[in-house]
Amino acid sequence: MLLAIDIGNSDAVFGINDGKNWLQQFRIESSSSRLSSDFDAKLRMLFLENNLKISSITKAVISSVVPDLKKPIIEMVQNLFGIQPILVGPTIYHKLPLEILRPNEIGTDLVCNALYAYLKYKQKVIIVDFGTALTFTTVSETGKILGVSIAPGLGTAVKSLFSNTAQLPEVPLEVPDSVIGQNTVHAIQAGVMWGYIGMVEKMLEKIKEEVGQDCKVIATGGLSSKLTQLHPFFDEIDVNITLNGLKIIAEI
């Protein structure tokens, strides 16, 4: 079985795939201290709790946008599973059916997203990833990554608001019916949630103006389910798109 590891700035996601389906997924906060100190023990416990055997993992692939975590995660996979993992990065991009103009700058998670989207649709596609950052990756019908647009993610924006204002409380990420706030919580929800809906709509409109209207639009990321008002704009919504891209890379 395959172990796919997607290390983001907020969380590290681990997926176990039997060749067809994602059997289990685990999520651990991706702070350097946690992952480097007791990650081995955490993963062993997760395998035990889910009746999975360490010996069942025969292949591993890693995407990390956190440079400090690459080495400890590679070493953990080597020590725990006895296998050499595939690390997504510029050294393997020549194997992919993608044209990547700035391979040392683009996030490896975005490459995974682009690979999945291109191979599935074989036409122009925009991938909206609702993660720590909100990203829009545009891919041509020939597999060229045309570019990426980046904004602070929904959770990042909310945390920044709370950390820089003394009297504002933390609020649930829910979209209110009205954009006119009637109390503090409602006011924050109206400004942040409806503001992000408007931003995504406008970004998709402007991208399509540049590359053409015949684009598929797919959404991924842990917060992709929060903004249901945007769902009609998407042809596909799947939190596993990055993991699916990792699986494709492991099989190339």
**Which of the residues are catalytic?**
109
Euclidean distance between the first and final Cα of the chain, in Å? 15
Q: Left, alpha or beta for 125 (phi > 0: left; psi -120 to 50: alpha)? A: beta
User: Residue 135 in 3-state DSSP?
Assistant: strand
- Rounded distance, CA 60 to CA 167, Å? 46
The two three-digit tokens of residue 169, written as one number:
């409380």
> With contact defined as beta carbons under 8 Å apart, do 43 and 50 qualify?
no
CA separation for the pair 207, 212 (Å, rounded): 8
